Structure 1
Amino acid sequence: MVTRPRGSYRKTAQRREEILDAAFEVFSRTGYAASSLNEIARVVGMSQPGMMHHFDGKAAMLQAVLERRDREAGELLSGRTDLDFLRGLIEIAEQNRERRGVVQLYSMLAAEATSADHPAAAYFAGRFEYVVAGTVNALEEAAALDLLLPEVDPRESGRNLVALTEGLQLLWLHNSAIDVAQSVRSEINRLLTTSI
């Protein structure tokens, strides 16, 4: 028997998602530092105290927005190894073509979060560490299968691949003719004894 969320819980969950949508819109437009709780409340159509019933401040909203974005990417990469993981990175880049606002918000926040006192500083440091480690691991797995060119250092190449992807996304925000997914695919193929 499948149980469904009770009425008030379902409404609360739906309202939280609406608040996150509004926070995403405001953060995307003005960045985290320049955004205000009043503006988010106005966009979602509720009072600030009512909104604070669901989130304990702007930093908590930011954390939830970032976690929602990462949950989607995490699901796509879950359980994937070696070349399949690397294909997943290309798939994420392809999906991002249709999510300009998400990429714009992410890029803006990643730059803001280089300040140690930014509420997302630890989040981005951990995220970069996680993504680089996953990419390095996939390249090491490819090397164990003799799919990586012998002169390629998985650690250096993994870090460089993440940096390339991040930089290409920023360039794409300024010039939508840039094909991030194809450029990432080309760089990965340059490291391999095969093509993906």
Structure 2
Amino acid sequence: MAGPRGEYRKSAERRAQILDAAFTVFARSGYTASSVNEIAKAVGMTQTGLLHHFAGGKLALLRAVLEQRDARAETSLEDLHGREFLAGLVEISRAQAGQRGVVQLYTILSAEATDPEHPARPYFSERFRRIADAVTVAFEEVRDAGGLRDGVDPRRAALSTLATTEGLELLWLNDFDVDMAEDIRRHLGGFLVDPL
């Protein structure tokens, strides 16, 4: 099947350029201090031209940037269950080590979104809930296969894993000597009969 043609392809390419610019601007300045005009200038457009592609303005750009990041991670976990899913989390952490800007943007926006009035608050709340639920299911599958240590509660293990991942990213961004993938692998191993 042929790919998108003509104006549709150009529009998709332009949206991708805008998202790349939004990512860069948000990573540098944070959401609150960034402007649609700044993003438009970064791609050689007017603010009106940019809003043709993202009618929801800065909030629509933020959501698209965050969704793009999450979609990549979620795609890598598709069809994985139990131990394989947990191993996939380790690989996501390994990939993050090569994407400092992405991790930095996420961390800045996640911190900003702790403000109940921040427009990304619902997004981050839902994202954390979705991740915690998926990791809980993986731990339950490991438990059901006899691979979870006695006394380990899948939900508590999932929340601990999420907190450890977020904390390691923050330490790494602050130049602590951490190996996010190996540290997550060791953390997960503490819950398992046979470590990953």
For Structure 1 versus Structure 2, the TM-score category normalised by the shorter chain is over 0.9
1:185 corresponds to: 185
Paired residues for 1:49-88 under 5 Å: 49-56=48-55, 57-88=57-88
Q: 1:61 to 1:24 in 2, by over 3 A?
A: same
**Counterpart in 2 of 1:25?**
24
CA distance, structure 2, for counterparts of residue 16 and residue 177 of structure 1 = 37
Structure 2 residue 105 is the aligned partner of structure 1 residue 105: yes
TM-score (normalised: structure 1): 0.97
Partner of 2:117: 117
Is there any run of 5+ residues in structure 1 with no aligned partner, and where? none
Deviation at 1:103, TM superposition (A): 0.2
Uncovered stretches (5+) of structure 2, i.e. residues with no partner = none
TM superposition shift of 1:16: 0.2
Aligned ranges for residues 103-182 of structure 1 at < 5 Å? Answer: 103-175=103-175, 177-182=177-182
SS of 1:178 mapped into structure 2: coil
Alpha-carbon separation, structure 2, partners of 1:77 and 1:189: 19
> RMSD between aligned alpha carbons?
0.8
Distance 2:127 2:135 in 1: 12
Task: Indicate the SS of the match to 2:148.
Answer: coil
Q: Which is further off, 79-88 or 110-119?
A: 110-119
Cα offset, 1:64, TM superposition: 0.4
For residue 3 of structure 1, report the CA deviation from its aligned partner.
2.8
- Give the TM-score normalised by the residue count of structure 2: 0.97
**What whole-Å deviation, never above 9, does each CA across 1:23-80 have from its counterpart, x for those lacking one?**
0000000000000111111111111111111002000000000010011001001111
Structure 1 consecutive aligned stretches of length 4 or more whose deviation exceeds 6 Å: none
Q: Specify the alignment match of 1:46 in structure 2.
A: 45
Residues matched between the structures, number? 195
Task: Give the distance between the partners of 2:83 and 2:102, measured in 1 at CA.
Answer: 26
How far, CA to CA, are the matches of 2:4 and 2:40 in structure 1?
25
Identity of aligned residues (%): 48
The corresponding residue for 1:12 is: 11
**Letter matched to residue 178 of structure 2:** I
3-state DSSP of counterpart to 1:191? coil
